[in-house]
Structure 1
Amino acid sequence: MATIASQVVFHPTVSQTLKVCSTTLGRDKIYRAVQYFSRFLAWYLLSKGHKIQAARWNALKNHLAIGRKLMRLGKPMEHLQAALRASQATGPAAEQITTIGRQLGYFGYLTHDALVWANTIKFVNLKPSTASRVGKLANQFWLAGILCSVAFGLLKAGRLANDAKLLQGTGPWTEKGVEVDRDVKLQAVTAQRESTRYQFIVDLLDIWAPATNLGLVNLNDGVVGIFGVISSLMTLRLQWIAVNGKK
């Protein structure tokens, strides 16, 4: 029995999971996945008339949302630093502008979201009209950040597609060293294209949450919840690879 317990406790998957959970981003994405799943399940149960069970999952969703706001209190400065670094970097102007826009959008979102959290726990007392305005601004900044990220993805995908065509179409490659160099560059471009497409899908899934909160679209909590679960798991997968070095 002790051997079986030891094999379970020290199983590589358990150790890898603990490594991911030891990071703030890993915990946040796990909490986010559960939060959005709770949002979906609460909507589903309520649509079936199970009000008591729905209230339970709705409460879990709300408390996870509050907890995640607390975990993100320091992140606005991270995005402000990233915006400053992007402004000092070299590269295509359009990609640089959209990168700065994305970081500033998330800076504004998380800054206002911190005020929402402070008001929710009664650390500060905002008037209902002020609290509503702050929440709306948070969602507007969130949406702006995602839109900039989508624009960046489209611009970068187009540039990388042209780079790949140039590398594939140039030839003939008679010198072995030159051919190897071409293949290395092509592999790097291919990896960047895959990464860009991956983030683009995440952005397309995430954009509906602030758009729904602002009333720009009319998606129910079930659809928004499922989209949130998928994007959370996709981001969690990237963190898993970053921490454990494997897919």
Structure 2
Amino acid sequence: MATAASQVILHPVVSQSLKFGSTTLGRDKTYRAVQYFARFFAWYLLRSGDKVDAARWNALKSHLGTARKLLRLGKPVEHLQAALRAALATGPPTEQITTIARQIAYFGFLSYDVIVWANAIKFINLNSETAKRVSKTSNRFWLAGILFSIVNSVLKTVRLTKESKQLRAAKSWGEKDVGEETQRQARLHAVKAAQAAARRQFTIDLLDVWIPATGAEVVQVNEGTLGIFGLISSLMGMQAQWKAVSK
């Protein structure tokens, strides 16, 4: 009995799950996945006429959203630091500019998000019109950040695709010594990994962009669709973090 219990409790997947859950990003992505599933399910229940259960899932969505805002209280400064590091780094100017702009936009989004959180927990009291304006501004910054991220991913993908073709073509330029070929293969592998990361981020951004766009009243997408989009992007984020902690 003890052996069976130890095999379950000490199973590598359980250990990996604990390691994943011990990271702030891992917890946030998990909460986000549940939050957006709740958003979708509440919409589904409302359409089915089940208002009582829909209210329960709406409450879960709201409380998880508030909890996630609390976890992000220090994030604005992180994005300012990231913007500064991007400004000091070397690289393609267009990618550098879009990276800086994205980080500044996220700084604005999360700064306003603090006000939204403080009002939600009644630490401050904003009238309904002011609260709506603050929330809308927060979503506009979030939308701008995602749009800059999409442009950055496109620019990066174009550059990496061009470099990948050049590296493949280099193989036919003639005989090379072992050292040069090893370096070429290593760089090609790194480029492919960067391409995959850029494609993943591009996909996540395309799914997420509709959430702040709807919040900023730029477009109107129903709650069910937003819930599904948010759930998929959250699961993709969880998958990336799972791989990161397993290394």
Report 1:78-157 matches (<5 A).
78-157=78-157
Give a deviation string over 1:183-208, Cα, whole Å, max 9, x none: 22111111111111011101111101
Cα shift at 1:15: 0.7
Q: How far apart in 1 are the matches of 2:58 and 2:232?
A: 19
Report 1:1-247 matches (<5 A).
1-170=1-170, 171-177=172-178, 178-245=180-247
Q: How far apart in 2 are the matches of 1:2 and 1:222?
A: 45
Q: How far apart in 2 are the matches of 1:179 and 1:84?
A: 36
- What is the TM-score normalised by the length of structure 1? 0.96
Give a deviation string over 1:93-122, Cα, whole Å, max 9, x none: 100000001111111101100100001111
1:173/1:179 contact within 8 Å kept: no
Structure 1 residue identity aligned to 2:76: P
How many correspondences in the alignment?
245
Cα shift at 1:126: 1.6
Cα shift at 1:172: 2.4
Q: How far apart in 2 are the matches of 1:160 and 1:119?
A: 44
1:40/1:226 contact within 8 Å kept: yes
SS, match of residue 36 in structure 1: helix
Cα shift at 1:175: 1.8
Structure 2: gaps (5+ residues): none
2:82/2:103 contact within 8 Å kept: yes
SS, match of residue 211 in structure 1: helix
Structure 1 residue identity aligned to 2:146: I
Q: How far apart in 1 are the matches of 2:13 and 2:27?
A: 16
Give a deviation string over 1:140-169, Cα, whole Å, max 9, x none: 000000000000000000000110111112
User: Cα RMSD over matched residues?
Assistant: 1.0
Structure 1 residue identity aligned to 2:197: S
Q: How far apart in 2 are the matches of 1:76 and 1:215?
A: 24
Q: How far apart in 1 are the matches of 2:150 and 2:98?
A: 9
Q: How far apart in 1 are the matches of 2:201 and 2:146?
A: 11
Q: How far apart in 1 are the matches of 2:44 and 2:193?
A: 39
- What is the TM-score normalised by the length of structure 2? 0.96
Cα shift at 1:180: 2.4
